[in-house]
Amino acid sequence: MRFAFIMLFIFACINVSFAQNLSPVGRNGALKVQDGKVVNQQGVAPQLRGVSLSWSVWQGQKYYNPGVVSWLASDFKASVLRAAMAVQPDGGYLQQPDEQQKMITNIVGEAVRDGIYVLIDWHDHNADQHVSDSKEFFKQMAKKYAGVPNVIYEIWNEPTKTDWKTVKAYALQIIPVIRKYDKNNLIVVGSAHWDQDVDITAADPIAGFNNIAYSFHFYASDPYHQDALRARADKAIKLGLPLMITEWGVGEANGNGNFNLAKTQTWLKWMEDNQLSWANWNITDKHETTAILQKDAPIYGGWSEANLTPAGLYIRNVLRALNK
């Protein structure tokens, strides 16, 4: 009887190890920047595809729980999740740092258990005005997650009308705080003008630190986010700037508006052609085009197709088709 129990235990351990090896992180390991690209431990672009949680306040907050993370990993087949920690809004990090930090660590913990990557996103449009708060937050995150291959630090969600000089100066204050504790995990730096001026960033990238990537954002159906914006990103890629699309939506730049399938497909093909990792915006039941969930969708995951919006159905189908 004892022998049978021991064999059962060994078999269970083998199964857990096998499952972890088959997970996105198990296959790819720690990410790094090499020759102008984000690559895995084999030096190959992993092309992570997943979703972004919404702001960790308002209607998106209720979906900040392990059940949602697990469902996105298992049902949507997401290989990366973005935790968009609100900073400035009421109830955000500036007002409730302990509560917000706990929400993020709960999300990260489940992502690690599920073997997927997780972006710890300082979701702020004015991060240069909150440097001391950002330093303290990323100090705690880096101390806690140093060397955990799942974790990616996104240090400024979207600089709005801020120029690259200001964004770069901010980054040069935050990166050393992270690197003091976490020497190698990927850090994603924002780009000026809603993460769109990546060509300007490419002409003056950050030097002196390893494994630094840059965010690029777009909204696929927005009339101003078409050929000209892709051309700017193409220029940045040609100049060797490692890009990660930490946020994109099927609608327009305000999160609402039209969902143009043809334009969305054009952007999706562009991401695939360039082997760029991405997170789609966003897990919320707010009444807007880019919301993935219908109103009052279950807060712990387990969603049926009836719980998904047109955006949600599209993104789920894309993820399940491409993340095999």
Q: Please identify every residue annotated as catalytic.
A: 158, 247
Pairing of strands 49-53, 80-86: parallel
Of 88, 87, 85, 81, nearest to 61 by C-alpha is 85
**How far is the C-alpha of 124 from the C-alpha of 133, rounded, in Å?**
11
Q: Determine contact, residues 55/123, Cβ cutoff 8 Å.
A: yes
Contacts of 243 (CB under 8 A, 6+ apart): 38, 198, 213, 214, 215, 216, 233, 236, 237, 274, 276
- Give strand ranges (E) for the chain: 32-34, 37-39, 49-53, 80-86, 117-123, 151-154, 187-189, 212-219, 243-249, 278-283
Phi, psi of 293 (to 5 degrees): -115, 145
CB 124, CB 156: distance < 8 Å: yes
Q: Do 283 and 63 touch, CB atoms closer than 8 A? A: yes
The one-character DSSP state at 64 is -
Phi, psi of 247 (to 5 degrees): -160, 130
Classify residue 306 by its DSSP letter.
G
Please check whether residue 281 is in contact with residue 83, taking contact to mean a CB–CB distance below 8 angstroms. no
Instruction: Say if CB 292 and CB 312 are below 8 A apart.
Output: yes
For tokens 């952007």, the residue is 267
